[in-house]
Structures are given as structure tokens and as C-alpha cells.
Structure 1
């Protein structure tokens, strides 16, 4: 499980490099992401542009990470592909997570 992590000052930029977040990698994904976030103790902007597929295990991993974070550490999901965004919308998790359409780099330059 590999992430590209950059400190952007007020928040941590994390780019997901996996194309699929499914049952095969959900647990390592959750554990590694949680480890990174807890280590840096900053809000996270998670670039999901590379993720083309997410199943219920992947969604469960995202929920577990969010629930494990203190209230002051937000997680913003950026640049979701239509298929992944559909999973969040159908399960109404789009009301729970802060979802932004732009990639992290665009957002950082604004």
C-alpha cells in the first residue's frame, strides 16, 4: 500500500495510488492511512483521482479511518472518479464526508 504524502502547511495532501480499494486491500489501506494521519496530526485532503473502483469493503475502510480521527482532524475527499463518487452517493456517505470535485493540486493553487 503506497500513498504520496506532502505537507501543505495547514493540511496534509495524500494521493491514493491504488486503482481499486476493495476487499483485497481494504485493511492495509485503512491501517496505512490511519498511521499517516495520526503521525502528522493534521487535517487531510485525500486525492482519489486514481481510484476507479471501490466496493463496500473500501467504503468501510474509509468510514473506519474517519471515525478513528479526532474531531479536529478533518478528511476531505478530492477528485473522485464518477464510479467511486456513485458509491458514496448511493450509500449517502456523501453527506458524511466532505467531497470536493477538484484535485488537490488545483485546490492548492487557488
Structure 2
């Protein structure tokens, strides 16, 4: 699975290059993000602008990623389409994760 990575000041911007984040890629997605955290990056923005769909396995991966952040680490999700945003609202995960409309908003939250 390909994830574009960009460093902007102290923030690591990660953009999954996949239309569907489902059970077939959830483990690889989680491992890739955890590897980034293991390298010392703990201010993360996940840009979902290229993702059309996520399922519960991806949501579980995101929760694991969030739990793995420590020492002031933060995770912000941005550019969620209306279906993904609705899933976060229905599952009340919008209370667990910081959701932003776009990259600029997400980056400003972490600067």
C-alpha cells in the first residue's frame, strides 16, 4: 500500500493513495503509520482526500494508531468525504479523533 509522506515543519502529513481502506489493506495501513511513529514522528495529519471508503477494520487501525502516540503526540484526520465523515459521527468517533475539513486546517491545529 502506498502512502505519500510530506514533512511540514514538525508535522508529518500522510496521504494514503488508495480508494478503499478496508480489511484487505487495514493491517498494512496500520503497520505503515506505526513505522512512521517509530521513527520519531508524533505530530501526524492523515489526509483522506484520495480515500472514498473506510470500514470498521480501518477504524480499528486508526484507534490503534491513536493509542500508540505518546509524549504529546497528536493525530488529526482531514479531507474526509461525506460518507466517511458520517461514519465517524454515527460511531461517535468524531469525539475521539480530531477531524478537519482540509490540510491547512489540520496543519494549523498542530503548529
Task: Give TM-score scaled by structure 2 length.
Answer: 0.88
Displacement after TM superposition at 1:40 (Å): 3.6
Map of 1:15 onto structure 2: 15
Map of 2:4 onto structure 1: 4
Map of 1:89 onto structure 2: 89
Displacement after TM superposition at 1:34 (Å): 1.0
Deviation digits for residues 7-64 of structure 1, max 9, x if unmatched? 1012111111111111111111101111112214230111111111111111111111
* Structure 1 ranges of 4+ moved more than 3 A: 106-109
Map of 1:76 onto structure 2: 76
How many residue pairs get matched? 107
Supply the distance in 1 between the matched residues of 2:99 and 2:55 (Cα, whole angstroms): 18
Query: Which structure 2 segments of 5+ residues have no match?
Result: none
Specify whether residues 45 and 58 from structure 1 end up closer, same or farther in structure 2 by C-alpha distance, changes over 3 A only.
same
State the Cα RMSD in Å.
Answer: 1.6
Supply the distance in 1 between the matched residues of 2:38 and 2:80 (Cα, whole angstroms): 23
Supply the distance in 2 between the matched residues of 1:42 and 1:64 (Cα, whole angstroms): 14
Task: Give TM-score scaled by structure 1 length.
Answer: 0.89
Q: Equivalent residue of 1:65, what SS?
A: helix
Q: Trace 1:1-110 onto structure 2 (pairs within 5 A).
A: 1-102=1-102, 104=103, 106-107=104-105
Query: Which structure 1 segments of 5+ residues have no match?
Result: none
